[in-house]
Chain A
């Protein structure tokens, strides 16, 4: 009776049997990486906007404070997206007929709001409160990155739960003096290891990791 299989089959089978374990493991690992990669989290991917608004220009070059446009960041859950009015406060004076700003002027004229595309989007079962973080010494940069270096605005962090929890568990690693919350380039003058715990004391920050802190 002739052989059904070639000799090499033995090797193949042995390799595949033992290999299977490692292949499966590595596949899982890769999946884990993909899920956290910008490909899915959009970190660093600029989103196109009706008006190519440059935070770099307004924040770094013009030195406008965050709160001039994001008015309710210290008082409300919602930081506030500037109304057309706020844009026009300046742009009725300067760049009054820059073509780029046409949509803004139209909005002002017609009363039809501008429609910006969301950059930082949390699932809607997550309740984030800007005022709670800002008033407790968490800097804008901690979540939004060096917005002052962004031509077009992009997401700076994955905003995945493990990322949030990471800070909620150890706020001392991220807290900064309140006066520097809105500063883009603040660097701790002493080591965060000593500063952090002290500020946590002063600001009475409890690390709130109960589910209802964010999910209601």
Chain B
């Protein structure tokens, strides 16, 4: 396959089982580089900011945020959707690409999954925190209570509750199962007793017997099969929060696919944002090769164009519907008080990614990294545009209003970013960021062999 040949390999030449294992496990078992401490410290500060912002919120009430009537949802929901979207790439890479036998997924799936978990963790805080009375959030769960009441199952928020919890659980299990063999490797390589005990405990007595491997494969592929529909379902359900409402600019059938595409878009952007520094700082260029980066860039390009199509269709259907309110929302987005956000969104999500068409850009890690950052910003803006511009001028002109975030909105958002990176740094420090055994397995695969020959 010539096309294969002229593309960079999924793993650099000159590696054998031992060297792969050593290189990766060294990150965990070896000494801690200075830049890790620096990065962790910074993100930890962010986390502290998060705690502070949340304390203020809980003590003073949701009024400390910028939300009002008519714009009763603000940053909280914007950030929620943004984080959930980011989560998607992980599941997509690890589950779908696994089932599709994509060799290039191997070295990135592990931390992509981790990223998913942490993103979902960040996302999950918002639906609770944005409540007027967060301490009653458990009323969303159906359980036999003394009030003799159930949740209201017609409400998308209840579906959301299930979607997110399922997604979180599955992602966690999938990630953990993938980790078991590597835990065993680390257990065996660990020198200190404590490390041995911990990794030993986590590896659940993995001995690497044929039986273990068979069971493992079954489970792992089964989990992949279960996780695959989630990639689509979760963000579809999230989109229902908007699509089911009658608010002009929300009430649209295009939302589910449009949201899923957006999620993958932002997800891959975030993976790139993380992968590029990671391979740089930990010298993983040989494992996370240009091949990976380029593939992800291409996925990003495609997803980005689907999202662009989404924007087009929104505008078109608004015009085609002839519905006064829909048409107004569209024109208000483009020309109203929040127009800058709209145009910036289009630039970030539709224009900039087009650069990926060009090979030089694809070959430049810096360029890809910058683009990925821009896309992340763009996707955040998209959610802002959807939530705020739709709400602030809906049906009855007398009720029109504005939305402006407060310092606590921003602090909470920055805080969750801190939380996200703190978890990520802990993960890099204490778990193998790349699946050791899968990389080894990779060495044996004919197509890869042929490439490296």
Contact = CB atoms under 8 A, between A and B. Distances in A.
User: A contacts B directly in the complex (CB < 8 Å)?
Assistant: yes
Interface of A: 1, 4-5, 9-10, 13, 28, 32, 35-36, 158, 160-162, 165-166
B33 interface: no
B197 A161 contact: no
A166 to B, nearest CB: 7
Nearest to B188: A1
A162 B188 contact: no
Interface residues of B, number: 16
Nearest to A166: B148
Nearest to B147: A161
A162 B147 contact: yes
A158 B148 CA distance: 13
Contact of A13 (B148, B193, B197, B205): B205
A4 B146 contact: no
Contacts of B146: 35-36, 158, 160-162
Nearest to A158: B146
Contacts of B143: 28
B280 to A, nearest CB: 35
16 contacts: A1-B188, A4-B187, A4-B200, A5-B200, A5-B201, A10-B205, A13-B204, A28-B143, A32-B144, A36-B146, A160-B146, A160-B147, A161-B147, A161-B148, A162-B145, A165-B148
Interface in B182-208: 187-188, 193, 196-197, 200-201, 204-205
Contact of B197 (A4, A32, A162, A165): A4
Nearest to A29: B144
Nearest 7 Cβ contacts at the A-B interface: A162-B148, A160-B146, A161-B147, A4-B200, A165-B148, A4-B196, A162-B146
Binding site secondary structure of chain A? helix
Contacts of A158: 146
Interface of B: 143-149, 187-188, 193, 196-197, 200-201, 204-205
B151 to A, nearest CB: 15
A10 B205 CA distance: 7
B399 to A, nearest CB: 25
Nearest to A165: B148
Contacts of A160: 146-147
B15 to A, nearest CB: 25
Contacts of B200: 4-5
Nearest to B144: A32
Contacts of A162: 145-148
Contacts of B149: 161
B438 to A, nearest CB: 24
Contacts of A32: 144
Contacts, number: 31
Nearest to B193: A4
Contacts of B148: 161-162, 165-166
A5 B147 contact: no
A161 B200 CA distance: 50
B188 A9 contact: no
A165 B146 CA distance: 10
Given A10-B205, A36-B146, 19 more contacts: A1-B188, A4-B187, A4-B193, A4-B196, A5-B200, A5-B201, A5-B205, A9-B205, A32-B144, A35-B146, A160-B146, A160-B147, A161-B146, A161-B148, A162-B145, A162-B146, A162-B147, A162-B148, A166-B148
A166 B145 CA distance: 13
A209 to B, nearest CB: 10
Contacts of B188: 1
Nearest to A17: B204
Contacts of A10: 205
Contacts of B144: 32
A173 B253 CA distance: 48
Contacts of B147: 160-162
B421 to A, nearest CB: 31
B207 to A, nearest CB: 11
A35 B143 CA distance: 13
A176 B204 CA distance: 64
A167 to B, nearest CB: 11
Nearest to B201: A5
B409 to A, nearest CB: 31
A5 B143 CA distance: 40
B330 to A, nearest CB: 38
Contacts of A165: 148
A40 to B, nearest CB: 9
A103 B320 CA distance: 81
A161 B148 CA distance: 7
A32 B145 CA distance: 8
A32 B143 CA distance: 9
A4 B200 CA distance: 7
A36 B144 CA distance: 11
A9 B200 CA distance: 11
Contacts of B193: 4
B138 to A, nearest CB: 12
A4 to B, nearest CB: 4
Nearest to A35: B146
Contacts of B201: 5
A18 B205 CA distance: 16
B216 to A, nearest CB: 16
Contacts of A161: 146-149
A192 B190 CA distance: 75
A35 B193 CA distance: 45
Nearest to A160: B146
A9 B201 CA distance: 9
A32 B147 CA distance: 12
A5 B205 CA distance: 9
Contacts of B196: 4
Contacts of B205: 5, 9-10, 13
